[in-house]
Amino acid sequence: MAEKTRELIVETALRLFRERGYESTTMRAIAAEAGVSVGNAYYYFRSKEQLVQAYYDRAQATHEAACREVFAAERSFAGRLGGVLREWVRISEPYHEFAVKFFKHAAEPSNPLSPFSAESAPARESAVALYREVVEGSAGRMDDELREELPELLWLLWMGVVLFWVHDNSPGCARTYRLIDRVVPLVDRLVGLSHLPGIKGVAREVIEVVHELRA
């Protein structure tokens, strides 16, 4: 019963966020639409931000499930990466308008909705783990040190795709799919060359930059 109530509150909140906008939707309105008391709504979620975090977690779980088929069918790095990125766009399509409305909050570095925040850590770590599967299941050759750092770099690439998707008003987000189709072969080529002596130094420099940013 408790889990059903929690899911009902999440579903109601996401619907109202899409219909009314994030800022205009109150916890009181969510509780009323869900048919629960305000106190009950706050029992499950202390704030609207926690409701969006629940959306992050749900979207990540749905994305992971959708990628199982991609991983089963693809062994190439490009096929796995492109499939994962395209699956995310596909499952996120119903929330495109909602994402546009609340992204300005997520873009604030100090906001709990930021993908880099401590509150977003579980969803972020799950996403990085998904890109680790992309790398570890790939048949292609790559530099060993880059292989270790690549999942996080691919997560940052995904963040760039998300930003582009938020501002993409083309039918069915066709421009985002085109971006993926253009970017993935470039990344695949760079990764495939990373073990060669001339490119290895560049790969090391990229890794050093990542270490500095992480520090």
What are 87's two structure tokens? 């699956």
> For the residues 145-149, what does the mean pLDDT come to?
83
**What pLDDT, in 10s, does the model give residues 34-55?**
999 999 999 999 888 888 888 8
What are 26's two structure tokens? 């109150």
At 212 the pLDDT is 65
pLDDT band at 112 (very low <50, low <70, confident <90, very high): confident
pLDDT band at 202 (very low <50, low <70, confident <90, very high): low
- Which of 54, 214, 53, 64 is closest to 126 using CA atoms? 64
DSSP 153-200: HHHHHHHHHHHHHHT--SGGGHHHHHHHHHHHHHHHHHHHHTTSHHHH
**What pLDDT, in 10s, does the model give residues 115-132?**
888 888 888 899 999 999
Taking the C-alpha atoms of residue 157 and residue 203, their distance in angstroms, rounded to an integer, is: 16
